């Protein structure tokens, strides 16, 4: 759907659940010994992809009334086709998990997913006896049973490779280690995986850059219902809209002190830029502020860069984003997508291989193609309201990948949406 967005936002929004947390909980529940309920008050396309793949492997997962009902895999479906849609998390988590189950699965996907990197996970799995079709092409066949043992993964590409192995290797009959080499990217996401594993009774020891996973473990169901916490990645759009816009916005359902999500750092980054942000036990309120430029290390928060670039466009001075090269292998080349968005608005910005520089200033209305990237479409909508311009989005459906209700919340807070 093509639409023009503009207006002034204010009010309160209930933040949707985190798809990062949901992926992990759904996989753990599908591997458990007994049925489980996971409270999750809304779903998105990436969550649906993980559910579809787990059901294809033999689980029975349904969604109704704000919760998932999960009957775990009792007998693995051999030779199933797992359609990961456009979800990189689904593919990278379930590739080693399906191999640990001996599922002999076939993986498919759409959009840029077939081109997103699987190395070095691909090479490490084949080195341990898994037979896979050519890397970089789909369908991707995966045959054999992943054994326990010693695994080595370069941490500089994606933490999802490590998370996938952490969820898979407890199923092996032998003890395992995962040794991380190089720089660890998005380390906080490993924390989300370890939290999910602990919730479902799996033990993992971490010493330095090595994880030790006892083999022969069984996933167990928590004593009470578990709930998917609110998504800081989605909340970041509204927090920036409040801090850089004309009126305050409150995001409900966020626990800044207890959350393990790395993207809660949006609060810290905006405060460094001068934002007036109030944090309570279950909410974050961002008030209109005079933002100033800063330097931001993005190694652990790559998903925040599109909306932080919007904050930089509204700030006084020049903001530099470091360690951004991984943005080129997301749903779009996000470095180029950000530059296209900002240049369309008349904002000065440029990039090197690993840095992005944005100079704040006045903006103009423009038409923008988000390249089927949910975060870029939502960032452009926030740019419209904080700079007081109209932005015509050539595609809004892509927002459903992570936040299907984004435009509904946008309208409810006073935004104007004109469908063309």
Element of type H or E holding 381: helix 374-387
CATH number for the domain formed by residue range(s) 3-9+230-237+292-419: 3.65.10.10
- The contacts of residue 124 (CB under 8 Å, 6+ apart) are 151, 152, 153, 161, 165
- The contacts of residue 289 (CB under 8 Å, 6+ apart) are 243, 244, 270, 273, 274, 275, 276
Instruction: Please choose, from the candidates 247, 227, 281, the residue with its C-alpha nearest in 3D space to the C-alpha of residue 42.
Output: 227
Q: Where in the chain is the domain with CATH 3.65.10.10?
A: 3-9+230-237+292-419, 19-214
Whole-number pLDDT of residue 65: 85
Mean pLDDT, all residues of the chain: 96
- In angstroms, the CA 119 to CA 158 distance is 9
- In angstroms, the CA 97 to CA 102 distance is 9
Query: Choosing from 46, 303, 369, 409, which is the catalytic residue?
Result: 303
The reply to whether 154 belongs to the active site is no
Whole-number pLDDT of residue 155: 87
pLDDT tens per residue, range 204-217? 999 989 999 999 99
19-214: CATH topology: UDP-n-acetylglucosamine1-carboxyvinyl-transferase; Chain (3.65.10)
- In angstroms, the CA 117 to CA 96 distance is 15
Whole-number pLDDT of residue 165: 98
pLDDT tens per residue, range 227-276? 999 999 999 999 999 999 999 999 999 999 999 999 999 999 999 999 99
Q: Is the pLDDT of residue 185 over 90?
A: no
Instruction: Please choose, from the candidates 78, 131, 140, the residue with its C-alpha nearest in 3D space to the C-alpha of residue 109.
Output: 140
Tally: H helices and E strands in the chain: 12, 24
pLDDT tens per residue, range 215-233? 999 999 998 789 999 999 9
């Amino acid at each position: 759907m093509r639409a023009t967005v503009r207006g002034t936002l204010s009010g309160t929004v209930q933040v949707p659940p985190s798809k990062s947390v949901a992926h992990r909980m759904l996989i753990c529940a599908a591997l458990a010994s007994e049925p489980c309920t996971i409270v999750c008050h809304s779903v998105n396309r990436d969550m649906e992809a993980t559910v579809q793949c787990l059901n294809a492997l033999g689980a029975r997962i349904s969604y109704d009334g704000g919760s998932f009902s999960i009957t775990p895999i009792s007998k693995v479906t051999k030779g199933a086709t797992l359609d990961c849609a456009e979800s990189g998390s689904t593919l990278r988590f379930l590739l080693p998990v399906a191999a640990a189950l001996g599922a002999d699965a076939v993986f498919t996907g759409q959009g840029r997913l077939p081109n997103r990197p699987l190395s070095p996970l691909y090479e490490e799995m084949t080195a341990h006896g898994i037979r896979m079709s050519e890397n970089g092409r789909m369908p991707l066949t995966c045959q054999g049973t992943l054994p326990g043992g010693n695994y080595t993964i370069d941490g500089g590409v994606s933490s999802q490779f490590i998370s996938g192995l952490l969820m898979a290797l407890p199923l092996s009959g032998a003890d395992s280690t995962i040794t991380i080499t190089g720089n660890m990217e998005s380390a906080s996401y490993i924390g989300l995986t370890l939290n999910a594993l602990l919730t479902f009774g799996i033990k993992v020891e971490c010493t330095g850059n090595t994880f030790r996973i006892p083999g022969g473990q069984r996933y167990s169901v928590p004593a009470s219902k578990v709930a998917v916490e609110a998504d800081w990645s989605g909340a970041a759009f509204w927090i920036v809209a409040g801090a850089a816009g004309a009126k305050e916005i409150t995001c409900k359902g966020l626990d800044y002190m207890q959350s393990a999500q790395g993207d809660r750092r949006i609060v810290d980054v905006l405060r460094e830029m001068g934002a007036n942000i109030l944090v309570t036990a279950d909410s974050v309120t961002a008030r209109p502020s005079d933002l100033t430029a800063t330097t931001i290390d993005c190694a652990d928060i790559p998903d925040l860069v599109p909306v932080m670039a919007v904050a930089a466009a509204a700030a006084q001075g020049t903001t530099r984003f470091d360690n951004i090269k991984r943005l080129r292998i997301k749903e779009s080349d996000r470095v180029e997508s950000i530059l296209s968005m900002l240049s369309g608005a008349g904002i000065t910005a440029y990039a090197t291989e690993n840095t992005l520089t944005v100079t704040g200033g006045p903006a103009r209305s423009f038409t923008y193609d988000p390249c089927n990237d949910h975060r870029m479409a939502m960032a452009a909508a926030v740019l419209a309201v904080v700079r007081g311009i109209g932005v015509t989005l050539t595609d809004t459906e892509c927002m459903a990948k992570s936040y299907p209700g984004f435009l509904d919340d946008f309208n409810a807070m006073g935004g104007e949406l004109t469908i063309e």
